[in-house]
Amino acid sequence: MYFGSYLLALATVAAVLSAVGYFFVAREQKAYALAAKWFYYLMTLLVWAAIGYLVYLFLNDRFEYSYVSGYSSSDLYTNYKITSLWAGQEGSFLLWAGLGVLLGLWVKAKAKEQPGWVMFFYMIGQLFLFTLMNISSPFALNPVTPVDGRGLNPLLQNFWMQIHPPIIFLGYASTFVLFAFAMAALAAKRYDSWVKYAFPWAIFSVCALGAGIFLGGYWAYETLGWGGYWSWDPVENASLVPWMGSIALVHGMLIERSRGAFKKTNLFLAITAFLMVIYGTFLTRSGVLADFSVHSFIDLGMNIYLVLFLIGFTLLSYGLLVIRGKSIKSNESDKSPLSREFSVYLGMLFIILSAFLVLMGMSSPLLTRIVGDPSAVDISFYVKTNLPIGIILGLILGMSALVAWKPLIMKDFLRRLPVPIAISIIIAVIANFQGVDNFSHLIFIFTGVFALTANLTRYVVNIKSKGIFFFGSDLIHTGFAMMLLGVVISSGYSSHAKTTLEQGIPQDIQGFKITFTGVERLSENREEVHLNIESGSDTYHANPLFIWSQQGLVRNPYIKKFIFYDLYISPEELKERALSDSDRTVTLTRGQIAQIEGCEMKFIEFDAGSHMEGSALSIGAVVEVKLPDGDTLKIEPRYKISGDNRVELEPAFIQGLNKNAFLLKLNADEGMVLLGITDKANPDGFSPKNALIVEVTRKPFINLVWLGLVLIILGSGFSAYRRIKEIKN
Amino acid sequence: MPKNIRTIIAVLVIIIFGGLGIWSLLDTATPYVGFEQARTMKKKVQVLGKIDFANTNYDEKTGLFTFYIFNDTGDRMRVDFGGTKPGNFEQAESVVCVGQYENGSFVAKDLLVKCPSKYQGSEYQEKANHKGKGA
């Protein structure tokens, strides 16, 4: 046990005491409130002291700690030494707990009703993190202190990777808040007011999880070089499922706030979003998927705790929901199919369904283990099941923009229908001519464009009367539809070409003339590849990167963005090429004779003076050549350095052999020359050549993904602005 | 509209998509099998093996990376991989090959590299080195 471990152990004791205190507060024993509060503060302080101490260890290169030596090295930049804190499993649990206790301070201040229950259930959630944090502690020591650390994987030395984990853990931590409010409502049998307090947190969850997912995806696209931003890996799905759950919850809460409906559904969704975070943690951290996921951690001895917590939380929360179920009275929601409420209901249904199918896919090794050989599903599973849902969601999204919150007359609805439908049909037909031949993709494009145009139209039409901030939700829906379109088109219709580029020889790839011009060594472990890309009269320069590290080879792609597509250049391997058979070199010292190309060559002397041109330096090598037929001749290839330090090699033609001789290198002190004999009129053949194995991918309409994202962010900002203004008025 | 239309829709939709989910799951499941089983199965499977580093080859014409994996019983299997070699392949202790056995070799669509140190098991580091095939 060392200082850091003591901090964690004490923090855990304080957390337990605080939880017990809040339990008594919840049971109307108000005397415990003060103690519970102060134990909470003490816990917060201790957790952050532990985080601070770990940062201190990183900054001071304390490699006796295996977490520090595993993720840092003495030559690492200071800012990366700090972010190495969350580079691995142990530190990321600590960070997660740290963010959790901070959010708790805010929850404590805002929970006006049943604060005891809210904080009790919040602490129950925190104890999960505290348990894991103690079991896989970042303060474990190395048996032998290494001289230097292993260093941080170069891929993590990236801006997006520095901020992605804290944001995703903030998202995870926020689902604990939703759980606490929902459970408190159930425990205290007060089902009507919790949504008021939990609603901002649900929005917070959607934003944090969404931002974390997008940052991770953007990082993958920009730096990983496999050309994608999403690979349906369990670690990715573990954040996707709670995100979809919180999206459904926000929509359900909107209806509950306006009509008092969906009370049970919302309680269920708030609890489930939290349980999905716990389940995702179990799947990815317990080692049960170790054989199926590249990201999964091996079991660090916390498997049993993860299972116990998962079962405990599930029984406690769903059990309480079932027991209380009969006493929860909801209002009826509007069931007219032409109401916005009805489309919100359908939208929620399909989002939950999609989340459920993703959950099924990521759990497949466990599900199939029950019936036989454990099997993981192929990525096609996610596409097969989610494409039809995407199609239907597009339709629902479009419809939701065409119907108002109150029931409207059929005539009104029919009047709004033709324009979006017509645009969607036109775009789908154009897509078909452009090569989209898959029927379900065409249908998807149709409904996606329908959703996009219907929402965008509603937004634009209402700007005049309501201003740009009022219908932020329409902008979010527009962006969402746009993003889905971008995802399907860019992944379904990207074209790959893998080829070997010989240095200096252009090749036509993906409609571009691409030339591999050379390699530049930037540092000991970084090599930059230079490529020229020509298209008509335009020339671009691309420089993908190879980085070698203890963690393996990293290939940084180069992405050339165009309006309608990205050209994604992923370097795979460099190969050194030997000289061709017709290019021969020979090293000679003064007076030495060598056999080459069937003749005898003898280096006589240097000739420095006779060819002086201006200020340029020019040295010749006088070589005596005895041809195979016995004739002897003298040649004098020259090595020139001009005023601006350019080297020019002047060949000497060997009559009777039909070859050129070049003076490639010389050493005047030792009287040594390097001669090159070739058929060619230039010495290019003698500079060492490389070949680059490269994958060039054309990704159509990927900008729709990022543009959609911008609209979502913009729409969210507008909505937030509108709500804040409403509260102030 | 009947009063419980929402429930009816929900039940219908769940049955349809639940069925689609189960059917797709069975259709796309790639079981984890041994070498012998991999050779006889006519579907996509996953096999785990150690890499014979002395015997690897990249064919520039076909773009195929060929190597051999072996297991504890000494059984060897040839693997052909058309994708990008994972960045930490050289450091790998063993590798999971996802694909199908065809005409004397295992044609891998994806390689999952397994590293010896527990610290290389980091979520982001592994993701970093993995060549995925996603969207």
Contact criterion met (CB < 8 Å) for A367 and B25: yes
Q: Considering the domain boundaries, does residue B103 fall inside one?
A: yes
* Residue A320: per-residue pLDDT: 96
> Residue A359 pLDDT > 80, yes or no?
yes
Contact criterion met (CB < 8 Å) for B133 and A226: yes
Domain shared by B115 and B55, yes or no? yes
- Assess contact for A663 and A636: CB atoms under 8 A: no
Measured between CB atoms, does B41 come within 8 Å of chain A? no
Q: Name the token pair of A539.
A: 């020339």
State how far the Cα of A459 lies from the Cα of A401, in Å rounded to an integer.
9
Rounded to 5 degrees, what are φ and ψ at B74? 90, 0
Domain shared by B1 and B15, yes or no? yes
> Over the stretch B57-84, which tens digit does the pLDDT of each residue have?
888 888 889 999 998 888 999 999 988 8
Domain shared by B23 and B81, yes or no? no
Identify residue A397 by its one-letter amino acid code: L
Binning pLDDT at 50, 70 and 90, where does residue A613 land?
A: low
Q: H-type helices in A260-330, by residue range?
A: 263-285, 303-324
Domain shared by B7 and B41, yes or no? no
- Assess contact for A288 and A366: CB atoms under 8 A: yes
pTM of the model: 0.86
> Over the stretch A57-87, which tens digit does the pLDDT of each residue have?
999 999 999 999 999 999 999 999 999 999 8
- Assess contact for A572 and B84: CB atoms under 8 A: yes
Q: Considering the domain boundaries, does residue B17 fall inside one?
A: yes
Q: What CATH number is associated with residue B62? A: 2.40.50.140
Domain shared by B26 and B39, yes or no? no
Q: Which residues contact A298 (CB under 8 A, 6 or more apart)?
A: A287, A290, B118, B121
Query: Which among A168, A192, A171, A170 has a CA at the least distance from the CA of A182?
Result: A192
Domain shared by B8 and B59, yes or no? no
Interface test with B, best of A289, A551, A577, A699 (most B CBs within 10 A): A551
State how far the Cα of A67 lies from the Cα of A69, in Å rounded to an integer.
6
- Domain with B4 in it: 1-30
**Exposed / middle / buried, residue A186 (Cβ in 10 Å: 0-12, 13-18, 19+):** buried
Q: Considering the domain boundaries, does residue B135 fall inside one?
A: no
The count of structural domains within chain B is 2
* Residue A305: per-residue pLDDT: 86
Percent of chain A scoring above 70 in pLDDT: 95
Q: Considering the domain boundaries, does residue B134 fall inside one?
A: no
Q: Considering the domain boundaries, does residue B87 fall inside one?
A: yes
State how far the Cα of A498 lies from the Cα of A698, in Å rounded to an integer.
12
> Over the stretch A384-399, which tens digit does the pLDDT of each residue have?
999 999 999 999 999 9
> Over the stretch A522-569, which tens digit does the pLDDT of each residue have?
888 899 999 999 998 899 999 999 988 877 888 899 999 999 999 999
> In this complex, which of A357, A360, A500 lies closest to B60 when CB atoms are compared?
A500
> Residue A518 pLDDT > 70, yes or no?
yes
Domain shared by B42 and B11, yes or no? no
Domain shared by B54 and B9, yes or no? no
Query: Which among A713, A620, A698 has a CA at the least distance from the CA of A662?
Result: A620
Residues from chain A contacting residue B129 (CB–CB below 8 Å): 153, 155, 294, 551-554
- Element holding B111 (H helix, E strand): strand B105-114
> Over the stretch A85-142, which tens digit does the pLDDT of each residue have?
998 888 999 999 999 999 999 999 988 889 999 999 999 999 999 998 888 889 999 9
Compute CA distances A373 → A288, A307, A666, B37, B113, whole Å. 14, 22, 69, 12, 21
CB-based burial, A202-237: b 16+ in 10 Å, e otherwise = bbbbbbbbbbbbbbbbbbbbebbbbbbbbbbbbbbb
State how far the Cα of A699 lies from the Cα of A682, in Å rounded to an integer.
40
Domain shared by B125 and B81, yes or no? yes
> Residue B104 pLDDT > 80, yes or no?
yes
Residues from chain A contacting residue B112 (CB–CB below 8 Å): 292-294
Chain A, window 667-706: residues with a beta carbon less than 8 angstroms from a chain B beta carbon: 691, 693, 695
> Over the stretch A643-667, which tens digit does the pLDDT of each residue have?
677 778 888 888 878 888 888 888 8
The ipTM estimated for the assembled molecules is 0.83
Domain shared by B89 and B107, yes or no? yes
> Residue A52 pLDDT > 60, yes or no?
yes
Q: Long-range contacts: A220-223, Cβ < 8 Å, 24+?
A: A220/B127, A221/A559, A222/A158, A222/A160, A222/A557, A222/A559, A223/A155, A223/A158, A223/A160, A223/A161, A223/A556, A223/A557, A223/B128
State how far the Cα of A107 lies from the Cα of A119, in Å rounded to an integer.
8
Contact criterion met (CB < 8 Å) for B1 and A335: yes
What mean pLDDT value characterizes chain A?
89
Chain B, window 65-124: residues with a beta carbon less than 8 angstroms from a chain A beta carbon: 82, 84-91, 96, 112-113, 118-124
Compute CA distances A107 → A43, A104, A113, A650, B32, whole Å. 15, 5, 11, 80, 46
State how far the Cα of A682 lies from the Cα of A149, in Å rounded to an integer.
49
Question: CB contacts < 8 Å between A and B, how many?
Answer: 200
Domain shared by B91 and B75, yes or no? yes
Residues from chain A contacting residue B6 (CB–CB below 8 Å): 333, 335, 345
Residues from chain B contacting residue A572 (CB–CB below 8 Å): 84-85
Domain shared by B39 and B57, yes or no? yes
In degrees, rounded to 5, the angle at the alpha carbon of residue B44 between the alpha carbons of residues B38 and B45 is 45
> In this complex, which of A232, A300, A376 lies closest to B30 when CB atoms are compared?
A376
